Amino acid sequence: MGIYELIPTDHETFEKDLAGSFLQRLMMLDYRARYIPVTQHSAEVSHSDPVADFDTLNTNESFLDAFFSSHRDSNESTQSHIHPMDVQMAVYHCSDSFLKQSMITKLSQCQYALPLLVPDPVTMDVECPLWTFRQIRKTWKITQIEENSTSIAMKSSPICKAETPMVSFFRLGSLSVSKSQLMSTLINDRHNTFFHRNCPGSTKSRHLLDGVAEIAWYCPSGKPNDAFTDCTAFCNLHGDALSNEKQRDILIDKASVNVVLLPTPKKGDKSMTLVSDLLESEKPVICLITDDDCTAVQTKKGKYKMGLKDRSQSDVSNELKRIIGEILAGQHTTFQLEAMMNVSGIRVDEDDAVIQKGKSGAMEVMKTLQQEDFSKIKDKFLPCQGRLWHEWCKTHKELYQLKVHVEKEKSKKEERLREIRQKQCDAPRSELMELFIGSMSSLPSMDKEFFLKWTQILIDSLSTDDLTAILQSYDEKWSEVLALKKKHAKSESLKRKQTELEQISTKLQSATFGLEHIFREMGQIYEAHKTVEKKTQRGQTDWSKYPELAAELMISGYPMELMDGDAGHVPLIWISSLLEAVIKKLGDQRVFVLSVLGVQSSGKSTMLNAMFGLQFAVSAGRCTKGAFMQLVKVSEEMKKEFQCDYVLVVDTEGLRALELAGNATLHHDNELATFVVGLGNMTLINIFGENPAEMQDVLQIVVQAFMRMKKVKLSPSCVFVHQNVTDIAAECFSDVIAFDVQKDVKYFAQLWEGSPPMAPPNPGYSESIQELKKMILSKASTSAGITLSQFKNKIQDLWNALLNEHFVFSFKNTLEIKVYRKLEVQYGNWTWALRSNMLTIENQLYNRIENGKVDKMELSHLRETISKTYGEVKKEMENYFDDADKETLVQWRGRFEIKIQQFHVDLVAGVKRKLEEVIQQKKACKKLDRQKTEFENKLLQKSKDLAHQLKDQAQDEEELKKQFDSVWNGWVKELTEHCDETQQSEEGARKNKNPKQQEKYSRKGAWVTFKTCFTSFIEKMEKQTNEIIQLKPVAESGYTSTYLTEVAKNVRECVTEFESEKKYALKKEFTVDLLLHVFNIAGRLLSESHLKFKKRNDALTYLESNKTQYYNIFRSFCKGNSFAVVLGELICEKLKVSMVEAACNKTAIDLAGEMRCNFPAFNGNRLNLEKHVLKSMAKKEDFDSFITYIKHPRKYVETFIEEEVNTYIFNTHKREARDVLKKNIEDLKRLVSQASFTATEKVKTQSRKTDEWLKTFSSLLGDVLAFDASFPQNFTDINDFDFLKEEVEKGLVPISEELSSLSLSKIKKFRQKPDQILIEQLCKCCWVKCPFCAAVCINTIEDHGPEKHNVPFHRPSGIEGWHTRGTEDLVIDFCTTLVASNRSFHPRHDSEETVPYKQYQNGGDKYAQWMITADESKLTYWKWFVCRFQKQLEEHYNLKFQNWGEIPPEWTKHTKDEAIQSLDEMYKCE
């Protein structure tokens, strides 16, 4: 990088200057660098031996023969031009790594194809120049069509990391058709992306291009005429693919689609083998046959052919676009440049030791940033430049704005400055800074350059994703501001937009991170230590060496920050020491200072880059912020004309910057303009844009800056660069400074020739650059400039003079609601995937526990069981957050990842708790289980003996039943007479309770009258009672009276706390009635659990429940059946119970899953559920339902879910539900049959024992059915297991018939209930009510902090019973209207103080937790409700809609249909 003599571009170039001319034009973004006319050194064509004089020829035939003769004179010149691509490749091969990278970057900006695979001209080894692509970034817009709607998503990515489809082109043999030209038409039919035979300067002979594979990317603009809807790579192998096998095979392997150009192959040709291989591969192939005229046809899936003969290139191109688009619309592989590192057989330039050394150092630095929240990196790793530095700047500026007690104030502020500097010194040096400075200090010069470049590349790749969405919001908000300014509006709307713009600026400040911030931290560490004179701690780099390190970089051409754009301050101590270090190394050189000012995003940095090759070190994806200075060395040959050794360029952020578009803008712009104009020997004012008002503002700022310079006797020159500034506007400068309108105003062409992102730079732009550079150098040659020491002093003088001006700006985040709502839906899908899988796992483990296979539940086992699903969910999350809206989603990514992790943990813990209860119940029943075998053996023997006595009466069913009943009670009494009393039935205990107490137990007393006032307190007591009882092991250990004692104690304590908090004195009757109310709730729960305990632990209950089973055994023995028959019947009896339970549980899960996915109310987020609840209520028009919903929203929603599930299963989808149940029953039947067969085959070849058969049978039923394999000892002598199997199969027939007619209502009697499953899934969300209108927060996440509660609509507060204090007037206003009014409210019912609605968040925590914004939407639904139920509402609250609360007449016109329709319209907006 330097100032060299310009090679003229307006005439032909000699061959010796080709390389320099090519590079010069390319660096100026002139795509005509490929088409440089060449002047031949040889003499002109000789005329010494002309062809025969045609006039001397006698006949016409002789004339024609001579005219078209191919005879060539021996003296005729045979010299040909150098092929343009040979020039490009020659320059490429002769360049070092950095020049190659710069060259390829410029080629990319010129929309040219770039070398991907390059054979070495000498060794022919193939190289992939991955390093050269590292600075290239592509931006495009993806068009997505979903359900008849089209969405455009912007994407920006370093091209090395972009995953895109790739279309590879190669030819087989020599063809008459230009492959490269055809490819160019696919990408840009107005620009030759790939050089081809018909380009200017092309020759037949070329030496360095064959075997080179070039790549280019098509980037769609999101418009209907896009050739492709997503970014697509096109790769072109130059030369015959048959001769370049290595490159060809790599491209074929990496491509998504292969396109082959060839003549019709003949048998035996090499091309035939290759084409055959391609056609047999899985990848799509398009064969373009040059000597065939067939239309495009797909011979089989993914295999196309098309003839090129007699077809126009336009037709071929259009057809090819269609085919490629059709292929890429389906499943396809993608290509990523970085994947080339893994390709064998080629060399990658990044493997070079010097590049790797720089990269390894940069990677060490980047490791410290991994897993960090990007917006917090600066706070964590760069503590000296954040809050402390900003506070220092603010305090330092206040030194120049002292009031009243000046010296006292000044002393205080100076002390504060010292304290801040001390804190900066005391701040621990981060690992990031230690590694960075360590590498900078130790690496050799070349390694250091690679280290810096790699660090910048890696940081930019981290930061850009976060910035894309913010920058996009810049453009949108800036456009809104400009639109308002065009109307000359000075409304509140304009102020609000400007404030929002300032807020976005602060957000950008937090999210921006680059090398400039690391150097800024070095500067602040240096300034702090220099001020405090603190010595360097052991193990740390000496801070006094920092200026020297920075000076080396500045001398090598690296830009250094002059003004901190974030703090709006110049760090004078650091800048002075830095320039002193430069002077120490170079001497006090003379510099020509070129300052650059312009409108935001007007292309200042692009212009400087094209003119001088500058690379200002700003973070990727945004404009320059603050001011940077960069040294450009004047070459030795140019020094003869110059009085200066260097040009020092000062580049600045744009005036009227988007970040500062509010009240602080004018101060900041004046400050910045004055500073850089004063620094410069010449100021380049760059005004691009179409907005006259915007340019007028800039002109006024610049004029004011120059007027200030005039007053302080500085006289910089000025040059205007513009697109549409009138001469009249520029002439005003002549009154202020020496300014020639004719010479000092330069008109620039537009940068792009067409519409980005595929437009190449306008050649007129590069010509303008050339002319401007000439003029600047001409002026610089006549200027003595200033010395570096003078420049240093000038900085100090100007800055100290400007400290009187001051600006601040604020920040606030704005959430993208639609993206968040979509995220909520996805969150529901992810949690359902985990829940449904865990339900299945729970069922399986439950059966294993019942079968005695599991007696301990480990968390690790549960985690392992669900790990696959959890992994899939995490992968889906990762893909979702990396998808189209990732720039917006990134702010929630970490939070939702934690939420899913917590959901997973809670889900696993919940199932573990449930299953441990089952295990405890199982263990609690061990004593009874031991007795069961004894009972069964005795009962079996008694049944057999009795049957033997009554075998003659076997045909008389009634008599058998009578005889069995007569002895059964005696058997039971005999068997249970030695059992513990605790195992006896406790029915008597219930009966002995005080009847009066029972009457009170169900009494609904005086508490009802207090319910309206104390609803939330009573709900709290109900919830706490439920929680207390649910934690008690009643099902395992039985009921004890201490449980209710604990409930009573809790109620009394809460009542006392409530009285103290609310300053009430509650009557004793209220406490008693509240106790009875919660006892009633607790009683139901205790009864259910105790019943389970009795069934499992009471011997009498157990025997009575098995009476029918033993009667069947008795009857079977009476009929003379064998033990095998009886055992078969016993097995089937047990299977019947188990199969019913298993089928119902499985069906409940299946139906819940089906409704969760397909039922409209359940397949979205919380907002979607709310919409359907409201619709349902409107359709029913039941006032009590509305009141329940308003007062107890969760209770009502749970009821709604239960009702909808019942309607779905038992009404609207009854047939489908029955089909699900039948399928599950059939699956169970097949499982049992297979288990019976397998168990029989196993025991026949092994033990032939009944116990073994039963054990094997039970094991095969596995996790699906609970089956107790313990049976009486009487069955041990069974030998015919085939017969036993047949008996089981026979017994299954009536069971299957009975189960096939099983009522769907049975589903609700077992463990898994579809409504409860869905309630757990859908109701685990936020239920906080709006403190004004009781509208429920619609966030799908239960604990969704730090986001505040919000709802897309609110409702009249009178619906909740709010009324004007001292009146009976119900409030009719929506709270979203009230927060924009000047009215006030009482934050508590007993408070006398009032709070303005505009400051509602000052009313206390419950108000501060809500975000209620002024809303102009007119929700018809609640207006209809108020009118429809006006009378009922007035009666319910004993208040009136009158006076302040009078219902507007317009509300009465709304119909129910309109109300329901308004819900759909409202939710579409969310």
- Residue 1381's nearest CA partner among 1411, 1409, 1354, 1415 is 1415
End-to-end Cα, the chain, rounded Å:
53
> Which tops the pLDDT comparison, 76 or 357?
357
pLDDT value for 1382: 67
pLDDT value for 811: 20
Evaluate whether 656 touches 697 at the Cβ level (below 8 Å): yes
Segment 320-326 shows an average pLDDT of: 93
pLDDT value for 322: 93
Segment 379-406 shows an average pLDDT of: 78
Q: Which of 470-474, 604-608, 1340-1344 has the lowest mean pLDDT?
A: 470-474
d(CA 63, CA 56): 9
pLDDT value for 969: 66
Looking at residue 1209, the DSSP 8-state letter turns out to be I
Question: 1236-1254: per-residue pLDDT in tens?
Answer: 888 888 877 776 677 778 7
Evaluate whether 136 touches 167 at the Cβ level (below 8 Å): no
pLDDT reading at 773 higher than 80: yes
Element holding 440 (H helix, E strand): helix 431-442
pLDDT reading at 946 higher than 90: no
What is the three-class DSSP state of 1072?
helix
Segment 985-1001 shows an average pLDDT of: 35
- Residue 1414's nearest CA partner among 1380, 1445, 1440 is 1380
Looking at residue 982, the DSSP 8-state letter turns out to be G
Element holding 964 (H helix, E strand): helix 957-976
Q: How confident is the model at residue 235 (pLDDT cuts 50, 70, 90)?
A: very high
d(CA 851, CA 1267): 6
| Angle at CA of residue 736, ends 735 and 742, nearest 5° | 65
Three-state secondary structure string covering 346-374: CEEHHHCHHHHHHHHHHHHHHHCCCCCCH
DSSP assignment string, 528-586: HHHHHTPPPPTTSPPGGGHHHHHHHHHHTT--EEEEETTTTB--HHHHHHHHHHHHHHH
User: CB atoms < 10 A from the CB of 393, how many?
Assistant: 20
Segment 1204-1212 shows an average pLDDT of: 89
3-state helix, strand, coil in the chain (%, to 5): 60, 10, 30
pLDDT value for 994: 36
pLDDT value for 473: 74
d(CA 967, CA 1129): 22
- Residue 53's nearest CA partner among 61, 63, 44 is 63
Partners of 651 in the beta sheet?
A: 628
pLDDT reading at 743 higher than 80: no
Evaluate whether 838 touches 887 at the Cβ level (below 8 Å): no
Q: How confident is the model at residue 1384 (pLDDT cuts 50, 70, 90)?
A: confident
Question: 876-913: per-residue pLDDT in tens?
Answer: 988 888 876 676 687 788 888 888 888 888 888 888 88
Question: 64-108: per-residue pLDDT in tens?
Answer: 566 555 554 444 444 567 889 999 999 999 999 999 999 999 999
> Which tops the pLDDT comparison, 167 or 942?
167
Q: In angstroms, how far apart are the furthest CA atoms of the chain?
A: 147
Q: Which of 290-294, 1103-1107, 1358-1362, 1461-1465 has the lowest mean pLDDT?
A: 1103-1107
Q: Which of 39-53, 501-515, 1010-1024, 1284-1298 has the lowest mean pLDDT?
A: 39-53
pLDDT value for 669: 75
Tokens of 1414: 């002024």
Evaluate whether 171 touches 179 at the Cβ level (below 8 Å): yes
Tokens of 950: 């009554």
d(CA 1449, CA 1319): 40
Evaluate whether 118 touches 129 at the Cβ level (below 8 Å): yes
Q: Which of 162-166, 779-783, 1033-1037, 1405-1409 has the lowest mean pLDDT?
A: 1033-1037
Residue 251 vs residues 167, 177, 244, 468, 591: alpha-carbon distances, Å: 9, 21, 11, 32, 51
pLDDT value for 219: 94
Q: How confident is the model at residue 128 (pLDDT cuts 50, 70, 90)?
A: very high
Evaluate whether 236 touches 169 at the Cβ level (below 8 Å): yes
pTM of the model: 0.55
> What contacts 257, CB < 8 A, 6 or more positions away?
165, 166, 167, 168, 283, 284, 285, 286, 324, 327, 328, 332
What's the chain's average pLDDT? Answer: 79
Please report, rounded to a whole number, the percentage of residues in the chain having pLDDT higher than 90. Answer: 19
Which range scores top for mean pLDDT: 165-169, 326-330, 651-655? 165-169
Segment 762-775 shows an average pLDDT of: 84
The alpha helices in 28-139, defined as continuous H runs, are: 60-67, 84-93, 97-109
- Residue 471's nearest CA partner among 139, 896, 693 is 139
Q: How confident is the model at residue 992 (pLDDT cuts 50, 70, 90)?
A: very low
Evaluate whether 511 touches 466 at the Cβ level (below 8 Å): yes
pLDDT reading at 677 higher than 60: yes
pLDDT reading at 748 higher than 80: no
pLDDT value for 65: 65
Amino acid identity of 1432?
A: Q
d(CA 804, CA 675): 13
Tokens of 14: 């000699």
> Which tops the pLDDT comparison, 618 or 114?
114
Q: Which of 592-606, 649-663, 846-860, 1289-1303 has the lowest mean pLDDT?
A: 649-663
DSSP assignment string, 850-915: HTTS-S---HHHHHHHHHHHHHHHHHHHHHHHTSTTHHHHHHHHHHHHHHHHHHHHHHHHHHHHHH
> What contacts 3, CB < 8 A, 6 or more positions away?
612, 632, 633, 634, 635, 638, 642, 647, 777
d(CA 769, CA 749): 10
Residues in the chain: 1470
Q: Encode 254-274: b = buried (16+ Cβ within 10 Å), e = exposed.
A: bbbbbbbbbbebeeebebeeb
pLDDT value for 307: 92
pLDDT value for 674: 81
